[in-house]
Amino acid sequence: MTRKAKSLKFVPREYLDVITEHVEEWSYVKFPYLKKIGWRGFVGGSESGIYRVGPLGRLNASEGMATPLAQQEYERVYETLGGKPLHSTIAYHWARLIELLYAAERCLELSRDEEITSRDVRNKPSVPGEGVGIIAARGTLIHHLVLDEEALIKDINLIVATTNNSPAICISIRDAAKALIHRDSVSEGLLNRVEMAFRAYDHCIACATHFAVGQMPLQASIYNHKRRLLKTLER
């Protein structure tokens, strides 16, 4: 990834003007990318349309945190790792801790708010139609729904956090494998270290797979430049 950063802002209903999805024959997963830049393959850098979402992306796009302790850590991470923007995949963990600290501080603030349990709350039902919502939970979630007159879903399109990150995850896995594999010499820790590369993006993988780090079943097939299978590692 390059150190150059570009800002891109859009309202939810414009997401299809900004993001489109690439398909590969070897995966059911779609690979989103920025429409204006285009799909250049699984490459990083400012000329690539691949982007990343989640806590690290949010910190890079923000100007600071809204609570004092989280702000201190926000400043420390950039002082320690060399300034904005941060592109280190492992920095996702530090960014996630900063957001957790902010959440804890914010929960304490809300618990002291006298209006937090107020009965003066009204939720007016919306008129069925079409809507797009974008939220930032574990990563950017895009929900596009079209409802009929009975408020039943006619059409739906979702681009969830892991899907947004899927091209970058492929790059991280490939780069980790390249760094660890040298000819037919393969480190015994290959599977753990490759797993570390993709788990940094999404802490929910542990819940989704029901396996902790180092326990999830994995298979790595090692091929040479002629695509001949040299070795298979399994766990």
Residue spans of the domains in the chain: they are 12-111, 130-159, 162-234
Q: In this structure, what token pair is assigned to residue 47?
A: 């000329």
More confident residue, 33 or 178: 33
pLDDT (0 to 100) of residue 49: 93
H or E, element range at 33 = strand 31-34
Q: Which of 224, 229, 201, 232 is nearest to 87 (CA)?
A: 201
What's the rounded Cα separation, in Å, for the pair 168 and 43?
A: 8
**Any idea which of 135-139, 152-156, 184-188, 222-226 has the lowest mean pLDDT?**
184-188
Q: Which band of pLDDT confidence, cut at 50, 70 and 90, is reported for residue 122?
A: low
86-110 burial, b for 16+ CB within 10 Å, e for fewer?
bbebebbebbbebbebbeebeeeee
For the cut 70, the answer to whether the pLDDT of residue 115 exceeds it is yes
Q: Which of 93-97, 159-163, 170-174 has the highest mean pLDDT?
A: 93-97
What confidence tens digit (pLDDT) does each residue in 169-204 have?
899 988 888 888 876 667 667 778 888 888 888 766
Q: Tell me the C-alpha to C-alpha distance, in Å, between residue 208 and each of 47, 72, 203.
A: 33, 33, 9
The DSSP bridge partners found for residue 143 are 133, 158
Q: Which of 75, 63, 73 is nearest to 96 (CA)?
A: 73
Whether residue 163 contacts residue 52, with contact meaning beta carbons closer than 8 Å, is answered with: no
CA 34 to chain CA centroid, Å, is 15
Query: Where are the alpha helices (H) located in 152-225, listed in sequence order?
Result: 161-180, 190-199, 205-209
pLDDT (0 to 100) of residue 1: 39
pTM: 0.66
User: Tokens 């996630």 label which residue?
Assistant: 96
Q: Which band of pLDDT confidence, cut at 50, 70 and 90, is reported for residue 94?
A: very high
What's the rounded Cα separation, in Å, for the pair 95 and 93?
A: 5
β-pairing, 19-22 vs 31-34, is antiparallel
Residue 85 preceded by cis peptide, ω within 30 = yes
More confident residue, 206 or 175: 175
For the cut 70, the answer to whether the pLDDT of residue 95 exceeds it is yes
What confidence tens digit (pLDDT) does each residue in 42-51 have?
998 888 999 9
Q: Which band of pLDDT confidence, cut at 50, 70 and 90, is reported for residue 117?
A: confident
pLDDT (0 to 100) of residue 209: 60
Q: Which band of pLDDT confidence, cut at 50, 70 and 90, is reported for residue 105?
A: very high
pLDDT (0 to 100) of residue 214: 65
Q: Which band of pLDDT confidence, cut at 50, 70 and 90, is reported for residue 19?
A: very high
pLDDT (0 to 100) of residue 152: 83
What's the rounded Cα separation, in Å, for the pair 23 and 196?
A: 25
Q: Which band of pLDDT confidence, cut at 50, 70 and 90, is reported for residue 219?
A: confident
What's the rounded Cα separation, in Å, for the pair 61 and 94?
A: 15
What's the rounded Cα separation, in Å, for the pair 82 and 88?
A: 11
Q: In this structure, what token pair is assigned to residue 121?
A: 């709350």
Q: In this structure, what token pair is assigned to residue 164?
A: 């947004």
pLDDT (0 to 100) of residue 213: 64
Q: Which band of pLDDT confidence, cut at 50, 70 and 90, is reported for residue 208?
A: low
